[in-house]
Amino acid sequence: DGGITQSPKYLFRKEGQNVTLSCEQNLNHDAMYWYRQDPGQGLRLIYYSQIVNDFQKGDIAEGYSVSREKKESFPLTVTSAQKNPTAFYLCASSKLGTAVDQPQHFGDGTRLSIL
Partner 1 sequence: AQTVTQSQPEMSVQEAETVTLSCTYDTSESDYYLFWYKQPPSRQMILVIRQEAYKQQNATENRFSVNFQKAAKSFSLKISDSQLGDAAMYFCAYRSAMSGNTPLVFGKGTRLSVIA
Q: Contact between 98 and partner 1 (CB under 8 A)?
A: yes
Cα distance between residue 107 and residue 68, in whole Å: 17
Q: Which is nearer to partner 1, 10 or 83 (CB)?
A: 10
Q: Does 33 bind partner 1 (CB under 8 A)?
A: yes
Return residues touching partner 1 (CB under 8 A).
30-31, 33, 35, 40-45, 48, 50, 58, 88, 90, 92, 94-98, 101-104, 106, 108-109
